[in-house]
């Protein structure tokens, strides 16, 4: 069984742990660098990216995470997507810069702080995981404003990409761990 870490400094890491286990992986909560050494992949959950950044520095995890991502698959959701992006705006903040995407934080505005949308995934996603629509929970979500030449868009909401992958990396601006559908986590587990 594949062993996946869930960064557990802040945010909804417990829901990711449960979702990964539903999808058939062993999921362990990661709080220090030493735990990264025997993992097949890592999930960075949603939460508050500014707080997560502070804790990553405080716990000396920035460099170990960047090092881990050079070799292993990483999946970031919402705040996790913000941490993986190359450039972050609204306001600008530091990130790990692992994926060739730019994101704008809290970009759906206040009236749309949180919503559940039904989205039709792109053919690439459906080919891998089945034809059903995807329920996407957005909570003060970022918008992906730019994707790089190697980024594949797996689902969109309106015009904006909301699930994208690039090499061994994947990000979602919504929260797949909050619905019973484990196809998004399964998609990530295929990279391990
Ligand atoms: N608004 C948060 C941020 O900017 C992300 C929200 C989330 O992860 N649900 O970091």
Q: What is the mean pLDDT of each run of 10 residues along the chain (192 residues)?
A: 97 98 98 97 98 98 98 98 98 97 89 84 94 96 98 96 98 97 97 97
What span, in angstroms and rounded, lies between the C-alpha atoms of 61 and 35?
11
114 CA → ligand 1 middle, Å: 11
The residue among 142, 136, 140, 139 whose CA lies nearest residue 95 is 142
| Structure tokens given for 15 | 């829901």
pLDDT of residue 108: 83
| Structure tokens given for 129 | 């995981």
What span, in angstroms and rounded, lies between the C-alpha atoms of 6 and 23?
14
A 10 A CB-CB count for 39 gives 20
Q: Name residues contacting ligand 1 (CB within 6 A).
A: 46-49, 78-79, 82, 105-106, 139-140
Q: Residue written as tokens 């992986």? A: 25
SS3 string, the chain, reads CCEEEEECCCCCHHHHHHHHHHCCCEEEEECCHHHHHHCCEEEECCCCHHHHHHHHHHCCCHHHHHHHHHHCCEEEECHHHHHHEEEEECCCCCCCCCEEEEEECCCCCHHHCEEEEEECCCHHHHHHHCCCCEEEEEECCCEEEEECCCCEEEEEECCEEEEEEECCEEEECCCHHHCCCCHHHHHHHCCC
1 CA → ligand 1 middle, Å: 31
| Structure tokens given for 94 | 């530091």
Give, using CA atoms, the residue closest to atom 4 of ligand 1: 105
Residues annotated as part of the active site = 78, 175, 177
Backbone angles phi, psi at 103, to 5 degrees: -125, 150
């Amino acid at each position: 069984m594949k062993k996946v870490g869930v960064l557990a400094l802040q945010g909804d890491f417990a829901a990711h742990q449960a979702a990964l286990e539903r999808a058939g992986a062993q999921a362990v909560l990661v709080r220090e660098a030493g735990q990264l050494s025997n993992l097949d992949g890592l999930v960075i959950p949603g939460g508050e990216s500014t707080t997560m950044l502070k804790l990553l520095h405080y716990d000396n995890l920035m460099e170990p995470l960047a090092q881990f991502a050079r070799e292993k698959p990483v999946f970031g959701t919402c705040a996790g997507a913000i941490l993986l992006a190359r450039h972050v705006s609204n306001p600008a903040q530091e990130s790990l810069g692992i994926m060739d995407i730019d994101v704008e934080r809290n970009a759906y505005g206040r009236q749309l702080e949180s919503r559940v949308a039904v989205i039709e995934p792109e053919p690439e996603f459906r080919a891998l995981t089945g034809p059903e629509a995807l329920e996407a929970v957005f909570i003060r979500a970022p918008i992906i404003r730019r994707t790089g030449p190697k980024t594949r868009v797996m689902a969109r909401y309106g015009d904006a990409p909301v699930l994208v992958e690039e090499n061994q990396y994947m990000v979602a601006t919504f929260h797949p761990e909050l619905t019973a559908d484990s196809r998004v986590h399964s998609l990530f587990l295929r990279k391990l």
